[in-house]
């Protein structure tokens, strides 16, 4: 049986297994790149996705997004035990058309420009904020924002929640009461302060990357989308990547790329696939008996994610749950006393009583989240086996750097100050979390340990640069392997000071242009 006999959303049967480009992973980046490349009718693209072609019913309804994290549309991984908490942490990531954009919390925000300009200082020339701005604008339709800064005719419709929770509106007023500036466009990348964040909701329903880019392109005869296809290895010979091996329903198949293979499987999946293909640290691959294709020590290193905790309040009056509304409706970007480069603390104003699952709390409430949004902690992605069916070892090493603990400690203070401000008095019931005095540093650490949530914003494992630990060069070509690129969140040298999805759209738009040459 040929993989071309499998049903796909294109409802086409391809008679060949050779393509100009093979794109691995139909998440945000893969959806963008496959769509842009096939705008040229002479270019044939195969897009492979491990998830299903059929969206889950809950994907459309923004308010139910947490239910998707443990669903069939997620890989449902877990981290290794984290030293800071002494526990493993769930590590969901998208396994569907649209990838994580189909199951995430729907926040669309650029990081502050300082976090992108930091990339350039690390050797990622051409990847500063001004470099990426045309690609941010190309991806988005943000008609409620300043057209000089934001795109107005891109595929993805974004804008603030139309009917924000009154608790979130009051929390914004509380931040202003404490002297924090109000931003005109906190999702734009040029301001700090507080404001309503943009979300990727159109006509009351989620708009994923598959909705905005991929599904409108499905009728193109030069785009072949194959779902339920798990890529197990890259085909590499004499330093050249020529294709991929993958499985469908247990059957092993191979496809050939005459031009390039582009990895868009995310910071976990892209690193895992490189390692399985013999590209990575030689000592790690030797331990697992994997034949070495290239000793590239940076593969799987530099993993970073945004840690988060919340302060939780019971609402004094019932708060309406609107199906079309997201949870995190307002954002604050704050520069703490220890930061010299720009905002390093995010405050998230949440319309629901969001908390660690192990903590009790009210059903009717709201939360104020705080995150060390440009963390210094770094971890790894490694293999536990040479068997592609075995999940990777994910170790973000959350809050392993003391500087991140300092930012989280200051974030707790800011969140509680907002929560206790007069502007929130009408909505404030009991403080459910912490719900007790935190009298000293050890009390604060105990609370940070028990309340730790994480954003699932994995990035950095195939970082762009020019030094020995860089995995891809500034054109996203894997250093030392021809005809192979990585173009997803894994190329980020350091964290962006925002939820990552908006940045992945921009990375993919720029990658498509680089690939087309």
Q: Is 457 a catalytic residue?
A: yes
C-alpha 327/C-alpha 65 separation (Å) is: 9
Query: Which of the residues 112, 224, 306, 457 is marked catalytic?
Result: 457
Burial 425-436 (b: 16+ CB within 10 A, else e): eebbeebbbbee
DSSP β-ladder status, 393-395 and 380-382: antiparallel
Residues 6+ apart with CB under 8 A from 54: none
Beta bridge partners of 431: 313
Structure tokens at 7: 């049903």
Cα–Cα nearest to 197, from 349, 352, 319, 365: 349
CB 99 within 8 A of CB 209: yes
Positions of E strands within 49-169 = 77-78, 90-91, 107-108, 140-141, 156-157, 159-160
90 close to 80: Cβ distance less than 8 angstroms: no
> Does residue 124 contact residue 465 with C-beta atoms inside 8 Å?
yes
In three-state secondary structure terms, 182 is strand
User: Rounded to an integer, what distance in angstroms lies between the CA atom of residue 21 and that of residue 126?
Assistant: 24
Distance CA 253, CA 244 (A): 8
Give me the active site residues, please: 457
């Amino acid at each position: 049986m040929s993989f071309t006999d499998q049903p796909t959303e294109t409802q086409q049967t391809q008679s060949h297994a050779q393509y100009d480009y093979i794109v691995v992973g139909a998440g945000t980046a893969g959806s963008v790149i496959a769509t842009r490349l096939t705008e040229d009718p002479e270019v044939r693209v195969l897009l492979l996705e491990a998830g299903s072609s059929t969206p889950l019913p809950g994907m459309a309804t923004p308010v139910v997004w947490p239910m998707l994290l443990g669903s069939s549309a997620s890989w449902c991984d877990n981290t290794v035990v984290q030293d800071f908490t002494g526990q493993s942490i769930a590590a969901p990531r998208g396994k569907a058309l649209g990838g994580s954009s189909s199951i995430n919390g729907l926040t669309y925000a650029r990081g502050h420009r300082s976090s992108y300009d930091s990339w350039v200082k690390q050797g990622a020339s051409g990847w500063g904020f001004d470099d990426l701005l045309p690609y941010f604008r190309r991806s988005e339709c943000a008609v409620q924002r300043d057209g000089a800064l934001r795109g107005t005719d891109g595929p993805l419709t974004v804008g603030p929640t139309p009917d924000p929770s009154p608790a979130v509106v009051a929390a914004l007023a509380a931040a202003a009461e404490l002297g924090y500036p109000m931003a005109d466009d906190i999702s734009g990348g040029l301001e700090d302060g507080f404001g309503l964040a943009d979300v990727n909701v159109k006509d009351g329903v989620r708009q994923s990357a598959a909705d905005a880019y991929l599904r409108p392109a499905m009728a193109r005869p030069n785009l072949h989308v194959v779902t339920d296809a798990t890529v197990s290895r890259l085909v590499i010979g004499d330093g050249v990547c020529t294709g991929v091996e993958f499985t469908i329903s247990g059957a092993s198949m191979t496809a050939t790329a005459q031009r390039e293979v582009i990895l868009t499987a995310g910071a976990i999946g892209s690193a895992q696939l490189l390692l399985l293909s013999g590209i990575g640290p030689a000592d790690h691959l030797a331990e697992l008996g994997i034949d070495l294709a290239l000793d590239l020590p940076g593969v799987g290193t530099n993993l970073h994610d945004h840690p988060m905790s919340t302060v939780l309040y019971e609402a004094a009056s019932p708060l309406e749950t609107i199906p079309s509304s997201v949870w995190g409706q307002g954002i604050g970007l704050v520069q703490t006393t220890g930061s010299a480069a720009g905002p390093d603390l995010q405050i998230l104003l949440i319309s629901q009583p969001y908390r660690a699952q192990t903590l009790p709390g009210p059903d009717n409430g709201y939360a104020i989240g705080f995150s060390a949004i440009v963390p210094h902690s770094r971890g790894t992605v490694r293999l536990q086996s040479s068997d592609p069916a075995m999940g990777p070892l994910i170790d973000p090493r959350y809050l392993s750097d003391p500087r991140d603990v300092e930012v989280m400690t200051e974030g707790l203070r800011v969140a509680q100050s907002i929560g206790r401000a007069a502007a929130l008095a009408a909505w404030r019931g009991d403080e459910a979390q912490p719900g007790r005095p935190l009298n000293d540093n050890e009390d604060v650490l105990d609370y940070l340990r028990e309340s730790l949530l994480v954003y699932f914003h994995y990035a950095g494992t195939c970082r762009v640069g020019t030094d020995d630990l860089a995995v891809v060069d500034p054109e996203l070509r894997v250093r030392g392997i021809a005809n192979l690129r990585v173009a997803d969140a894994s190329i980020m040298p350091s964290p962006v000071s925002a939820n990552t999805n908006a940045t992945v759209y921009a990375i993919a738009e720029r990658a498509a242009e680089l690939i087309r040459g």
